[in-house]
Amino acid sequence: MLKHYTFADDFCQNIERIDRYGHTRYNPRNILVPKSYRRLRKNRTGLDSEKRSRMLNYAIAAGGTSVWGILLLVIIFVALVPNFLHRRKGSKIAMCQVFVLDGDREGNLLRIENAIAEATGKGATILCFAESAIMGWLNPEAHNRAYPIPGEDSERLCELAEKYKVHLCVGLAEKEGNRLYNSAILIDDQGNILLKHREMNIPSTLMEPPYTPGSDLGTADTKFGKIGLLICSETHHKDILERMADLKPALVLVPYGYAEQELKWPDHGRELMQLIANTAMRTGATVIGTNLLGQITKGPWAGRVYGGQSAAADKSGKILAIAKDRDRDIHVLSV
């Protein structure tokens, strides 16, 4: 029999206890340390809040000021505090703002992998890249060089997601038959494509022939919650944002290709920031918007600059982070 329970006995003599079968008991010796310790070891990974609270009360009552009581409190602290800290810390998300050169598939994939390595080194588990990050936006070469999804480009991205154990969102051109889509995919940390989205709002006069519009919105259930995808110009349209809100995502990832004439930067970045904040408020979700770096080289918008300034906003529209102006930035934030 364990000693030094005088304090615990006095403390517990009028406290009601309920055993695992729902029976009321008043004997504090039913919760002596060895029994409580075994119960803790059995349930340490599956305690709900009510059980955690009950266990802590038992430990305090049973242990009193004894060595066993202190030891039990330490064990409970070790078992429960990491989960608490994880909830407080949240997920780390990276806005991977990198340069994209039109048609430079291998160089763009190399820059993507370098950014992934840097972001994971900072603890990021969800990474969002920009629009058309492999062939470049409004690049008519994609009609001949883009692949289906799944296909060669998406497979290489899946390999990177699996290699670095991250969830990865990337915008890329998708070829299906004679049609070219401006798409984005979400890949999990096992290298599986969870979601593919084709941009619905297409500027029809900026590339010949133009991208084919998509028609559907979707979300994917992940260990981080429900994630939705949008692409750039779709965030200008109230009806699209309302459709996304109806899906109730916790997080929306948006690859952007936000470009303007050289001298309109950095002021143009404020318009992008306001657009992302509005998207967050209308969808009721945290929004991560990652913009391209570089320059449009083809078509009527040739010469316009992608100025970066990627941004994140919470569901109230509060801006959480802004990336650098016209420069590479692997910006990691906790959400």
- Cα–Cα distance for residue pair 138/122, rounded to 1 Å: 32
DSSP for 121-148, please give it: HTT-SEEE--TTTTT-TT-TTHHHH-B-
pLDDT of residue 34: 40
Helix (H, G, I), strand (E, B) or coil at 317: coil
Predicted model pTM = 0.75
CA–CA dist 22, 18 (Å, integer): 6
Question: Which segment of 34-43, 133-142, 163-172, 261-270 scores lowest on mean pLDDT?
Answer: 34-43
Higher pLDDT pick, 330 / 204: 330
Cα–Cα distance, 306 to 294 (Å, whole number): 5
Q: How far is CA 49 from CA 80, 118, 161, 199, in A?
A: 10, 37, 34, 43
Residues 253, 131 share a domain:
yes
Average confidence (pLDDT) over 116-123? 98
Residue 140 near residue 148, CB atoms below 8 Å: no
Read off the DSSP letter of residue 213. Answer: P
Contact (CB, 8 A) for 158 and 192: yes
Helix/strand/coil for 308: strand
Considering the domain architecture, whether residues 214 and 188 belong to the same structural domain is answered as yes
User: 125 and 19 in one domain?
Assistant: no
Q: What is the sign of the dihedral through the CA atoms of 211, 212, 215 and 216?
A: negative
In a domain, 213, yes or no: yes
Cα separation of 178 and 104, whole Å? Answer: 22
Q: Are residues 58 and 115 in the same domain?
A: no
The verdict on 69 and 184 lying in the same domain is no
- Does residue 66 sit within a domain? yes
Q: What is the pLDDT of residues 261-316, one digit of tens each?
A: 999 999 999 999 999 999 999 999 999 999 999 999 999 999 999 999 999 999 99
CB distance 182 to 131 below 8 Å: yes
Omega before 213 within 30 of 0, i.e. cis: no
Q: Are residues 309 and 173 in the same domain?
A: yes
Domain contains 301: yes
- Domain of 82 in residue numbering reads as 6-87
139-144 mean pLDDT? 97
Domain membership flag for residue 1: no
Mean pLDDT of 18-22: 42
Three-class secondary structure of residue 189 per DSSP: coil
Mean pLDDT of 119-127: 98
When pLDDT is cut at 50, 70 and 90, the band that residue 90 belongs to is confident
Q: Are residues 64 and 155 in the same domain?
A: no
CA-closest candidate to residue 135, choices 166, 181, 188: 181
**Pair 168, 198 in one domain:** yes
2 falls in which pLDDT band (50, 70, 90)?
very low
Residue where the block lists tokens 């001949």: 144
Burial class (CB in 10 A: 0-12, 13-18, 19+), 154: buried
Average pLDDT in the chain: 84
Instruction: Say yes or no: 166 and 285 in one domain.
Output: yes
CB atoms within 10 A of CB 44: 16
Sheet-wide strand order for 293-295? 259-260, 305-307, 293-295
The answer to whether residues 198 and 244 belong to one domain is yes
151 located within any domain: yes
In what side-by-side order are the strands of the sheet with 219-222?
219-222, 225-229, 251-255, 286-290, 311-313, 319-322
pLDDT at 182 over 70: yes
Domain count, the chain: 2
Alpha helix segments (H runs only) across the chain: 6-12, 33-43, 49-63, 67-89, 105-121, 142-145, 152-164, 238-246, 268-283
CATH number of the domain at 325, please. 3.60.110.10
Query: What pLDDT digit, counting tens, does each position of 230-245 carry?
Result: 999 999 999 999 999 9
Q: Is the pLDDT of residue 68 over 60?
A: yes
- Domain assignment of residue 235, yes or no: yes
- pLDDT value of position 45: 42
- DSSP 8-state assignment for residue 304: -
43 and 186 share a domain?
no
Token pair, residue 318, equals 């509060």
Report which of residues 36 and 160 the model is more confident about.
160
pLDDT at 204 (0 to 100): 87
Tell whether the model's pLDDT for residue 85 goes beyond 60.
no
